Amino acid sequence: MIDNSTNPVPVADSFVVFEARGFKKRIPWNIRLNETQAEFSCQEDERKIVVSRDTARSQIRFMQTGLMLSESTIATVSGTVNLDFGGNKAKLVKWFPPISGEEIQKDLRGMGIGMMVVGVISILLKNFLDPIWGVLLILLGILNLVIKNRIMYIVNGIALIAVGIFNILAIITTSSAFWLLFGFMQIGWGISEIKKFSQARA
């Protein structure tokens, strides 16, 4: 049974999106959303894709733009076709199911392990990376493994934004464009993590 308490959806909604072919050709697709699934049908040929609402977050993935500072309106659907949702993106995102408790735990576990690995690397490569940030990342990684609650999305997001700002400011002393680019990517990643808080079940 689907829990619609966080993301209520209309009984049905339909709109048209486009698949880009080459530089000029745009192929229209009809999209129909209902309480259990999304139906994608191409107006030009017989292609059809059906995505269950339960698996929509993994089957419909929006591309990142602007150094991860925002998401594109273009999404890869079931790994087979790229569709531009344009102004209809908000309708689809609203239709997505809330992030489940199981997904939160899996997400935070992956984030925690990743942070701990980067933290250890930062300590080992102290001549290139900051060991202080390494220790903080290890501690934050442990928190992600222990506190399996959506509040960690905000904690992780704030931490990533802070590290991103620190790396951007590091260009003053290092004159390295790498840290500037890396900093913006971290800020974008942090914003994405904070957004997950409102998308997750309480």
42 bridge partner residues: 29
pLDDT exceeds cutoff 80 at 129: no
Query: What is d(CA 175, CA 70) in angstroms, rounded to the nearest whole number?
Result: 26
What is the predicted pLDDT for the residue at 202? Answer: 62
pLDDT exceeds cutoff 50 at 2: no
**pLDDT tens digits along 21-58:** 877 889 999 999 999 999 999 999 989 999 999 999 99
Beta-carbon contacts of residue 168 (< 8 Å; ≥ 6 apart):
179, 180, 183, 184, 187
- Residue 70 vs residue 78, higher pLDDT: 78
Closest CA to 31 of 56, 49, 45, 54: 49
The tokens for 135 are: 């220790």
Arithmetic mean of pLDDT, 70-92:
91
